[in-house]
Amino acid sequence: MPQPTFLMIGAAKTATTSLYQYLKQHPQIFLPSEKEPRFFLLEGANPKDYTGPGDPIWVGHAIRTWEDYLQLFEGATDQHRAIGEGTTLYLPSPAAAARIHHYLPDVKMIAVLRNPADRAFSHFVQHLRGGHGLETVAQGNEAVMAAFCEVLDREEERRKAGWSMSWQYQRQGFYYQHLMAYQQYFPRDRFQIFLFEEVLKNLSGTLMAIQEFIGVDPLPLDTRKQHNLSVITKVPKNERLHRFLIQDNPLKSVLKPLLPARLRQRLNWKLRQQNMRPIDQPVKLTLTPEVRQRLINVYRDDILKLQDWLDRDLSSWLTNGPSGVP
C-alpha cells in the first residue's frame, strides 16, 4: 500500500494551499484531493471531546484511523516518485511529531514559516465571517482588533475548555519550540524550511527546491492562480441560522442519532456555505502597531532562538511595521 514520502507540516496561513495545488500538477508527485486529512493530529480523536464552535464537525471530517489514511494514497502508481499530504497543524503538535515518527520514520517534511504576528492575525481573519464564519465580530478594523485581542487573552481558557488547536492563534507561532519537539524524533536534514516572504518573492524557485528535496525531476509549474486568500468576501445571510449551524444546541442533539456522522457533517458544511452571501467590496484587515508590538513581545525569545537555529536573518519579524506581504 503506498504511503507518504513527504509531508507539508505547516505553518497555517503561509501559502501552503497554493504550494500544494501547484505541486499537484507534477506527474511524478501524488497528492490526494483532500489536502488536510489531519490524521497525525487527531488519530483516534472523539469529536465530542472538542468544544469550540464547529470543532465537532472539523474533527469529524478528519481521518482518524491508519487504514482510512492509507486509502487516501490508493491512487498512487509506480510513476509517482513522491507521495505526500499537507496538514498545516502538524507543526505545532508534539503529538503529531510522535505519531509521524511511529508510522513514517523516514518521511521528509516541508515547513513554511511566516512572521508569527502576521500569521496569528491572518489565521484569526480566516475564522471571521468571510472565511469559515466561526469567529463573529462587527466589521471594521477597530472592532476586529478588539476582538482579536480578546481571543488572545482567552486562548488558554479556550484550550482548557476543549477548543481544538485550530483556535490557538498565538501558540501556533512558537516555531522554534515546535521544531525542537520534532527534532526529538527526526534529524535536521529531514526538514526543508522556507520563509513566507521568500516564497512570495521567488515562488518558482521555491517549487524547484521542493521538487529536488522530495526527489522528482524539476519541472516548471503553472503558478498563475492564487489559493486561499485572507480577505473577507462573504457574510451570513441569516445570523441566527449561522449560529445554529456552528454551535451545539438541543435540536442538533436530537437529530444526531438519525443521521450518520459523515452525512451530518457534509450537510452542515453545505448549509453553512449556502447561508453565506458575497459582499460588494472584499475587506482587507490590517494589524495595528499596538497589537503587532504585543505579539512581538510574546514571540521575541522564540524568534531569536529560531534565527540562530536556521542561521537566517529574522530581524524584520521583530520590527513594528507593515510586513509588506498579504
pTM of structure: 0.84
What CA–CA distance (Å, rounded) separates 114 from 316? 11
Model confidence pLDDT, tens digit, residues 240-273: 776 677 666 666 666 667 777 667 767 776 777 7
The helix/strand/coil state of 85 is strand
- Arithmetic mean of pLDDT, 166-193: 97
- Is 113 strand, coil or helix? strand
Q: Which of 44-53, 235-244, 298-307 has the lowest mean pLDDT?
A: 235-244
**CATH superfamily name and code, 6-318:** P-loop containing nucleotide triphosphate hydrolases (3.40.50.300)
Domain limits, the chain: 6-318
Q: What amino acid occupies position 304?
A: L
Please name the helix (run of DSSP H) or strand (run of DSSP E) that holds residue 321, with its range, or none: none
59 phi and psi angles, rounded to 5 deg: -70, -40
Please give the residue that has the higher pLDDT: either 71 or 54. Answer: 71
Instruction: Provide, rounded to the nearest whole percent, the portion of the chain with pLDDT above 70.
Output: 82
Pick from 172, 158, 45: nearest CA to 99:
45
Cell readout for 84 is 505526500
Pairing of strands 232-236, 276-283: antiparallel
Mean pLDDT of 29-33: 96
Q: Which residues pair with 86 in a beta bridge?
A: 8
